[in-house]
Amino acid sequence: MKMKQALHTVAYRSIYTITYVASLLPMGFLYIMASFTFCIAYHIIGYRKAVVLQNVARSFPEKRYGEIHAIVTKFYACFVSYFAEIIKSISTPAEVLDKKIVFENLEVIDQYINSGRNVIACLGHCGNWEMLNFMPYKIRHEVYAVYKPLRSVAMNRLMIKIRSRFGMKLLADSAVLRHVLSKSSSPAVYLFLADQCPRIKEEKYRFTLLNQETYFFSGMEKLARKERTAVIYLHITQLSKGNYKIVCVPICSNAESTIEGEITQKYVDLLTENIKEEPYGWLWTHKRWK
């Protein structure tokens, strides 16, 4: 067991060292490497290209083939650029990131937390969502990111290291309810990437997303209603390459006052708007619809 832990530690430190050194390279060079990766992933390997084409075509049946192809191409180009930006953020000074990541309407979070309520901030895989790691730098409240631990111990430690640089606290999805109950006297912000396909499909949480019947996790809404939290949506858009705007959009001030499914429906509506605004920015590689 000790030997296994030692190997995990060596692997983690090695990967982190390589990644940190890479982050010291000029952003322009990292973008060049991203472009090279794009050529390999899109033109040579065709990484999940059939899945992406099918997802986009079914989501936008009104678009012509040329428009679909343009969205898919730009998606791959943006996707590899996001990785370059994540690597660079490992060593980029906070003052520099503060100019690249613009937050709007953060005062709504202050209002909810000052009233004694936890805030569930739901979002989708839009734009470079990893830039939300910078959020704790912008507000004076604790921010927790709910995540599913990776199987690789070394990669899981690397992810936690990168995401927690500015004070973000990582919370395993299996421990969310217990944590919220134990921290009821200390309101905080909880980030949920809520557009992933759930393992357990509940009919009450089946909604229409981009013209297709889609199942959503019920846990986010059930937790919100049980704990009477406020709920907001984080609308992420790309202002220009490497620059993002994140807008806090209120969904409800007290989830207990909503009917079942109402919060998720509003989330789906806001997610749809977010995707349609920048269709190339959503994560199309997953098989959400079968």
Chain segment 214-255, per-residue pLDDT in tens: 999 999 999 999 999 999 999 999 999 999 999 999 999 999
Cα–Cα distances in angstroms (integers) from residue 234 to residues 20, 37, 56, 108, in the given order: 28, 29, 22, 12
Range of the domain at 248: 2-281
195, pLDDT greater than 80: yes
Instruction: Report, as an integer, the average pLDDT of 69-81.
Output: 97
Greatest C-alpha distance within the chain: 58
DSSP class of residue 82 equals H
- Give the pLDDT of residue 7: 84
Cα pseudo-dihedral 239, 245, 250, 253, rounded to 10: 180
In a domain, 286, yes or no: no
Instruction: Report, as an integer, the average pLDDT of 151-172.
Output: 93
In a domain, 235, yes or no: yes
Cβ(197)–Cβ(84) below 8 Å = no
Q: In the Cβ-directed half-sphere of 133, how many Cα atoms lie within 13 Å?
A: 21
Task: Please count the structural domains in the chain.
Answer: 1
Instruction: Report, as an integer, the average pLDDT of 64-82.
Output: 97
Q: 8 pLDDT band (50/70/90 cuts)?
A: confident
In a domain, 288, yes or no: no
Residue 189 pairs in a beta bridge with: 119, 143
Residue 147 sits at φ, ψ, to 5 deg, of: -145, 165
- Give the pLDDT of residue 9: 87
Q: Residue 216: exposed, middle, or buried by beta-carbon count in 10 A (0-12, 13-18, 19+)? A: buried
Rounded CA gap, 182 and 125, in Å?
A: 29
Q: What is the DSSP string of 155-205?
A: HHHHHHHHHTTTS-EEEEGGGHHHHHHHTTTS--EEEEE--SPPSS--GGG
Rounded CA gap, 37 and 229, in Å?
A: 42
In a domain, 287, yes or no: no
Which contiguous run of DSSP H or E holds residue 245? strand 243-252
- Give the pLDDT of residue 269: 98
In a domain, 290, yes or no: no
Instruction: Report, as an integer, the average pLDDT of 55-75.
Output: 96
Q: Which amino acid is at 4?
A: K
Cβ(227)–Cβ(183) below 8 Å = no
DSSP class of residue 259 equals P
Question: CA-based angle 251:165:280, to the nearest 5?
Answer: 50
- Give the pLDDT of residue 58: 96
- Give the pLDDT of residue 188: 95
- For 1, the 3-state DSSP assignment is coil
C-beta neighbour count of 65 within 10 angstroms: 9
- Give the pLDDT of residue 254: 96
In a domain, 289, yes or no: no
**Closest alpha carbon to 253 in 232, 227, 267, 226:** 232
Q: What is the overall mean pLDDT for the chain? A: 94
Q: Which amino acid is at 67?
A: E
